[in-house]
């Protein structure tokens, strides 16, 4: 890990993330695809060849933060609506997939122990990859994929630990023992996550300093993960549950400036963490090729192709089967729009991306056993896992937009409609309460009248809905406001340049102007 601290690495990583993101936005290619390819090309830079993706960094540093923020931003209502399907894909599908991959790998020459380790490593979809590659999908499908990928890491890591333990001879198979491990992982993880979330809520309600509030926020996922792992439970489940609980409590606590600061921090942090992970996965794929000794390259590539095919087929079959079984149990008739449902299931099957967690699990396999011998086929497991990630991210990532267009999903306006409805109801309630509040707070009539006019204008705009004339006027109003803000900014910069005010005053005034411009942008964005 010393090489990871070098300034050369930091600059190269930052430049790679920056350039790939710019290119992806211009040519409409998902950033992870370019980041992965650039990471593989890093091998041609001699000073970066020694850099490796440390599994401890992924599992203990990247994973808690990314899972927490993904769970925090995943709508709980969507999870509740499709809870049965999410539970099936994040538990049963993982076990079935791991078994199918293990059987395939064993038929192609891997012993059962390493085959199960490989199956457990590649079984879970990756929250990072799903969040970055599935944005072209409607909201409901994105929620399903994100919720599945948040929980299935916990299931896969339990299967992985069992497979590694049996292979190295530390554990012996028994159904009660394995069942107990799953109970401890899920129940213990849930208890740890809920406990840390409760403590975090108490701390945030007692803190007033935005910086200290955000320190408590940053500590939450790592504390939950640490507590769960300490008691032998799933840190993944703990971090995810903590994020879900905090997402429900957060709007009612803390200061507005602290909440803005928190969101801005997490958006930037997760952007950098995601980008860094894909670059490092690409770099590690080169290392996997160079270190492959137990299999020939053609045979290893055959194994990669077979595993990818199994992953796609098993996922498709399971999604179709679980959909029909769920409807049969609920005694539902064949619904209208069956073709659309079939196409949607195909899209969900293609969107089963693998990512850094799979590679971290493969890299975490111990090199030596207790008796001094090497872990069987460790290099093959790492190579196949890296190959599977590359194929799912690059091939399926490039294929997904075309499949989504083929599926012809109806335009999803739910979020826009719900946002307009909520803003209308909130503004109506505030406008109706304005006279009482002005009287209670002893506000000057002129001030109350001024605010009354502003709220009346907001209501007219929100109630206009499809009134093009009103919306056009609102756009003109925003355009004029932006022009006036720009003129104000020019004046204060000129005053600073002429040394009539100092930089502190400039920054204070500009912060207010920036906030005003952001509010205008958000106001027009919802239109």
- Give per-residue pLDDT as tens, 410-425: 877 777 787 788 878 8
What gap in Å lies between CA 364 and CA 55, rounded to an integer? 6
Strand, helix or coil for residue 454: helix
pLDDT score of 466 more than 70: no
Is there a single domain that holds both residue 347 and residue 452? no
The confidence score (pLDDT) of residue 95 equals 94
The confidence score (pLDDT) of residue 83 equals 87
The confidence score (pLDDT) of residue 465 equals 61
- CATH value at residue 198: 1.20.1530.20
Q: Band of the pLDDT at 168, cuts 50, 70, 90?
A: confident
pLDDT score of 3 more than 50: no
More confident residue, 495 or 417: 495
Residue 464: both structure tokens together: 């206009």
Nearest Cα neighbor of 120 from 100, 145, 138, 142 is 100
Top-ranked range on mean pLDDT: pick from 159-163, 304-308, 400-404 = 304-308
Q: Which of 447, 465, 483 delimits the end of a domain?
A: 465
List Cβ neighbours of 427 (8 Å cut-off, separation of 6 or more). 455, 458, 459, 462
Q: Which residue has the tokens 């020459």?
A: 109
Is there a single domain that holds both residue 385 and residue 424? no
Q: Which of 412, 434, 451 delimits the end of a domain?
A: 412
pLDDT score of 344 more than 80: yes
Distances (CA, A) of 344 to 128, 280, 350, 409: 21, 32, 10, 8
Is there a single domain that holds both residue 218 and residue 307? yes
Is there a single domain that holds both residue 202 and residue 187? yes
The confidence score (pLDDT) of residue 387 equals 93
Is there a single domain that holds both residue 22 and residue 35? yes
pLDDT score of 261 more than 60: yes
Q: Band of the pLDDT at 470, cuts 50, 70, 90?
A: low
pLDDT score of 232 more than 50: yes
In the chain, % helix, strand, coil (3-state, to 5) comes to 80, 0, 20
Helix ranges (H only) for 295-440 are 297-329, 338-350, 356-363, 378-390, 397-407, 414-440
List Cβ neighbours of 127 (8 Å cut-off, separation of 6 or more). 66, 67, 70, 146, 149, 150, 153, 355, 357
The confidence score (pLDDT) of residue 469 equals 61
Is there a single domain that holds both residue 153 and residue 74? yes
Q: Dihedral sign, CA of 233, 234, 235, 240?
A: negative
What gap in Å lies between CA 450 and CA 237, rounded to an integer? 51
515 is in which domain, residue-wise? 468-527
Nearest Cα neighbor of 102 from 162, 172, 152, 58 is 162
The C-alpha angle with vertex 281 and arms to 279 and 284, in degrees rounded to 5, equals: 110
Number of separate domains in the chain: 3
The confidence score (pLDDT) of residue 483 equals 86
List Cβ neighbours of 464 (8 Å cut-off, separation of 6 or more). 470, 471
Q: Are 352 and 322 in contact (CB under 8 A)?
A: no
Is there a single domain that holds both residue 191 and residue 331? yes
Is there a single domain that holds both residue 426 and residue 522? no
**DSSP state at residue 527:** -
Is there a single domain that holds both residue 297 and residue 445? no
Average pLDDT, rounded, for the chain: 85
Is there a single domain that holds both residue 154 and residue 106? yes
Is there a single domain that holds both residue 70 and residue 120? yes
Is there a single domain that holds both residue 60 and residue 94? yes
The confidence score (pLDDT) of residue 389 equals 94
């Amino acid at each position: 890990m010393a090489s990871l601290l070098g300034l050369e690495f930091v600059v190269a990583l930052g430049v790679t993330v920056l350039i790939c993101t710019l290119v992806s936005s211009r040519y409409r290619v998902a950033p992870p695809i370019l980041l992965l390819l650039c990471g593989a090309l890093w091998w041609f830079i001699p000073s970066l060849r020694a850099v490796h993706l440390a599994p401890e960094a992924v599992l203990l540093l990247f994973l808690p933060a990314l899972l927490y923020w993904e769970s925090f931003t995943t709508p709980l209502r969507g999870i509740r609506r499709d809870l049965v399907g999410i539970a099936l894909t994040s538990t049963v599908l993982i076990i079935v997939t791991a078994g199918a991959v293990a059987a395939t790998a064993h038929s192609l020459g891997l012993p059962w122990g390493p085959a199960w380790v490989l199956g457990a490593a590649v079984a879970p979809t990756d929250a990072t990859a799903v969040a970055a590659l599935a944005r072209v999908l409607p909201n409901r499908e994105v929620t399903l994929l994100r919720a599945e990928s948040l929980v299935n890491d916990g299931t896969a890591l339990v299967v992985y630990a069992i497979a590694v333990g049996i292979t190295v001879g530390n554990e012996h198979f028994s159904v009660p023992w394995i069942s107990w491990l799953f109970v401890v992982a899920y129940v213990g993880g849930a208890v740890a996550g809920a406990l840390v979330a409760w403590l975090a809520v108490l701390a945030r309600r007692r803190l007033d300093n935005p910086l200290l509030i955000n320190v408590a926020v940053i500590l939450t996922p790592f504390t939950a993960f640490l507590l769960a792992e300490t008691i032998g439970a799933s840190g993944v489940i703990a971090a995810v549950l903590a994020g879900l609980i905090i997402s429900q409590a957060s709007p009612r606590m803390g200061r507005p400036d602290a909440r803005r600061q928190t969101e801005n921090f997490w958006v930037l942090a997760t952007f950098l963490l995601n980008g860094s992970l894909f670059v490092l996965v690409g770099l590690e794929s080169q290392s996997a090729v160079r270190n492959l000794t137990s299999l020939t390259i053609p045979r290893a590539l055959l194994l990669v192709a077979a595993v990818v095919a199994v992953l796609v087929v098993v996922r498709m079959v399971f999604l179709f089967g679980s959909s029909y079984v769920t409807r049969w149990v609920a005694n539902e008739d064949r619904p209208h729009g069956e073709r659309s449902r079939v196409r949607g299931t195909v899209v969900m099957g293609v969107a089963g991306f693998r990512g850094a967690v799979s590679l971290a699990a493969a890299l975490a396999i111990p090199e030596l056993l207790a008796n001094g011998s090497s872990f069987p086929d460790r290099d093959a497991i790492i190579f196949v896992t890296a190959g599977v990630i590359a194929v799912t991210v690059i091939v399926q990532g490039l294929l997904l937009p075309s499949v989504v267009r083929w599926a012809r999903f109806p335009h999803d306006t739910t979020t826009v409609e719900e946002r307009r409805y909520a803003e209308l109801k909130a503004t109506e309630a505030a406008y109706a309460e304005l006279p009482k509040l002005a009287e209670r707070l002893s506000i000057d009539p002129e001030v109350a009248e001024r605010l009354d006019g502003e709220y009346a204008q907001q209501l007219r705009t929100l109630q206009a809905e499809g009134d093009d004339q009103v919306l056009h006027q609102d756009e003109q109003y925003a355009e004029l406001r932006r022009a006036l803000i720009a003129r104000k900014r020019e004046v204060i910069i000129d005053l600073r340049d002429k040394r009539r005010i100092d930089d502190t005053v400039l920054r204070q005034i500009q912060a207010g102007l920036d906030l005003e411009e952001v509010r205008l942008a958000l106001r027009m964005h919802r239109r």
